[in-house]
Amino acid sequence: MDVFKDVIYRIDEQDQRERLITVLQWVHDNFPSLTPVVKWNQAMFTQQETFIIGFSMAKKHMAVAPEAVAITHFSDAIIEAGYDHTKQLIRIPFTMPVDYVLLQKIIAWNCSEKQQCTTFWRAP
């Protein structure tokens, strides 16, 4: 997971840094076939060179980016978990726990849906 060290250590707040480390390690442990990469200053995981999910930090939340189609597919579950979302990202406030069951479903769905994808992003 050394690939993420520059992203991680740019985070000033220790508790936020630890949260990102925990989430990235969880993804790595639960989806060992995914490749950890950094692109656009964001920690990401890819599958056969196609984007699966990305993580970044903001002042009050962790941003989770699984692509718009995944957010649309899981919108009700995201809202039920108590998270806010836009078309492109899910906001997990630092005041709330990470819903790892939901995260697992989103990542597994993206992996399945993008098995035949030959581009980094889905076609618009």
| φ, ψ for residue 96, nearest 5 deg | -120, 150
pLDDT of residue 68: 95
CATH code for the domain defined by 2-113: 3.90.1150.200
Q: Distance of CA 67 to CAs 63, 72, 92, 110, Å?
A: 12, 9, 16, 9
Per-residue pLDDT of the chain (124 residues; tens, 9 = 90+): 799 999 998 999 999 999 999 999 999 999 999 999 999 999 999 999 999 999 999 989 999 999 999 999 999 999 999 999 999 999 999 999 999 999 999 999 999 999 999 899 987 6
pLDDT of residue 49: 93
**Beta-sheet strands, E only, within 28-85:** 35-39, 42-47, 50-57, 61-65, 84-85
pLDDT of residue 1: 77
Helix (H) or strand (E) segment spanning residue 91: strand 90-93
Beta-sheet pairing, 61-65 with 84-85: unpaired
